[in-house]
Amino acid sequence: MTAPHDPLDDIQADPWALWLSGRTRTALELPHYRRAAVLVALTREADPRVLLTVRSSELPTHKGQIAFPGGSLDAGETPTQAALREAQEEVALDPAAVTLLGELDDVFTPVGFHVTPVLGRIAPEALDTLRVTPEVAQIITPTLAELRAVPLVRERRTLPDGTEVPLYRYPWRGLDIWGMTARVLHDLLEQGPG
């Protein structure tokens, strides 16, 4: 007997794939910024969970912050390759478990990173295989509905060149999701399906 067909397993019917295919991606040209990529992994569920980490307090930068798995691109690497490699290194996510959908809008950080978020889907069971590594203090997986329900805090920051940028904060279960991670989440929550 075969298992019933789950429409969330069909990439052509995936609401996130359809959303991504119907929009124009914003790619930044920031030659003096360091290139990085993050994996935005959503579970294949009616109310997807998003894979986030609490960074270790032992790291030299961004200690204790909430982040997507990710990091700097190695020489010759694409953002997708870097995002998958970093997710495997940070939380032991098997790259074969990720259905890649494409790249989201580039973002930058005030400390000089040009980040390409890579959107992918994973089976909910993949979360059971993840493990904490020395770079990660904790793995968290809030649902998108939970994040939509928290009171969003909006601020404005002025960069050294005078440019004003939005800063979002999602207080979730005693944790503060902010910065680049909150900016990417904000775009997903405000513009994505659901």
How far CA 65 is from CA of 16, 18, 56, 125, 173, in Å, comes to: 26, 31, 8, 25, 14
27 touches 117 (CB < 8 A):
no
**Token reading at 6:** 């789950």
143 touches 154 (CB < 8 A):
no
Is 90 annotated to bind a ligand? Reply is yes
User: Residue 137 class from Cβ within 10 Å (0-12 exposed, 13-18 middle, 19+ buried)?
Assistant: middle
- Neighbouring C-alpha atoms within 13 Å toward the C-beta of 80: 11
CB neighbours of residue 61 within 10 Å: 7
Is 29 annotated to bind a ligand? Reply is no
Report which DSSP code applies to 49: B
Annotated binding site for Mg(2+), which residues? 86, 90
